[in-house]
Structure 1
């Protein structure tokens, strides 16, 4: 037994007890660790940063997937950039309107590790025939192809040497170019309390490109700092105004969820971090 320690902020750290190490190794891109904790279940760590825990991963995966997909009237094609653990893919595939999901993940070895050690979380998502899996750089993929998408989900790590290309103005311009008419883009935007620079970046480089844009939030216990933010943007759909069931664009989930609900969808646009 040992303790894993993560530096959330130069002045803040969190510790999680490793009750059993299930995997530890280095891929071509990052250090990967999966360990079990009696309270949190299985914990995925990339380069010393917690990505998901079995205890509450559904809050993140359901929030980043279902809010945009249920705000689109008929999403058929979805692009996921990142999200190699597979939990976001699992949620996207619950939507019966979705005919194809293209997932671009830089680290193919990470996918294999997660399929082996987090299989109970994935519901065989990687075996779904609607999936087109691309191992490569998400920014490069956007430049190289011409297909358009109804929803683009960017589930990157926080800015680091492997994800720098996903945090540039040209990257967001290319995302916009690949959105179909009526399309929506959503990206994880970090913790507002401890990582305000990420939100400022999203506001200045991503949201400024679109007619509508903003943030919604979810409280995820694993991520110290209270609320976690998601940035959204569209030239056609104002997600912040589509929080009532009476809105014709607000569709009800016709599948089982553990966290997402109509009420939580609405609340996500009203939750705000404390202002400093």
Structure 2
């Protein structure tokens, strides 16, 4: 099987919807045992059920990514259920407020950073020790093309995703000789529930995003998840510290 994850234990944050949901389902289809984490138990368990209907193994663990203790509990649950943790995709995230930087509410900035940046930091603190114990691992963090090509009225979001990219690349150096690979995926505009919520708020946003993309469309979460699945597999064994763009050509100058 291409992108074989047979025998792997994979944890996904934000696994109940959007890109995280696609990563969880595609990883299960590739043979991984998946720990789906999210704040929403109903949608999270629905993903677990879908993986099970397709013949895979999965469990749901509720996780607020702003709480470090819950990260450690989720990793412990993955190890208890599946014997180890040797891969993760950190997809949980929060979107922008839609204001110029001087008008952004400081509480909103702090909340977004707590989820988008501090949540990834906590994921490292919980996931890396388990992967060191397993002897190898692959961590994939979901960033955004806005990390390298910011757009207006979203300084909190763009800067947070820039932090995710840089932290991922720095962590790749920390663990390169320990058998743990760390990479970031930079999606372009992808039709997730989070983006749909933004498009529903702002007239013309969807049309603008489609017009800006050279392929003339939005991405599908599966298209991002296929890249994640490859990075989780041994076929990407020499890939670490990368910031992989998956955006339909959006970021091409």
TM-score (norm 2): 0.50
More strand by share: 1
Distance 1:75 1:270 in 2: 32
The alignment status of 1:175 with 2:153, answered yes or no, reads no
Alignment of 1:100-119 (within 5 A): 100-111=33-44, 115=46
In the other structure, the counterpart of 2:51 is 125
3-state SS in 2 of match to 1:210: helix
The alignment status of 1:77 with 2:12, answered yes or no, reads no
Aligned 8 A contact 1:154 1:187 in 2: yes
More helix by share: 2
Structure 1 window deviating more from structure 2 (178-187 vs 153-162): it is: 153-162
Aligned 8 A contact 2:15 2:44 in 1: no
In the other structure, the counterpart of 1:142 is 71
Alignment of 1:1-276 (within 5 A): 70=3, 76-85=8-17, 86-96=21-31, 98=32, 100-111=33-44, 115=46, 124-125=50-51, 127=53, 130-138=57-65, 139-144=68-73, 145-146=75-76, 147=79, 148-158=84-94, 161=111, 164-165=114-115, 167-168=117-118, 169-179=121-131, 180-192=134-146, 193=149, 194=151, 196-211=158-173, 213-217=182-186, 220=189, 222=191, 224=209, 226=213, 237-239=237-239, 273-274=251-252
Quote how far apart the aligned CAs of 1:110 are.
4.1
Aligned 8 A contact 1:84 1:105 in 2: yes
Distance 1:268 1:149 in 2: 26
Distance 2:39 2:59 in 1: 14
Which structure 2 segments of 5+ residues have no match?
Answer: 96-107, 152-156, 174-180, 196-208
Deviations 1:155-180 (A, max 9, x none): 21236748824522343232322323
**Larger RCO (alpha carbons 8 Å, 6+ apart):** 2
Q: 1:208 to 1:269 in 2, by over 3 A?
A: farther
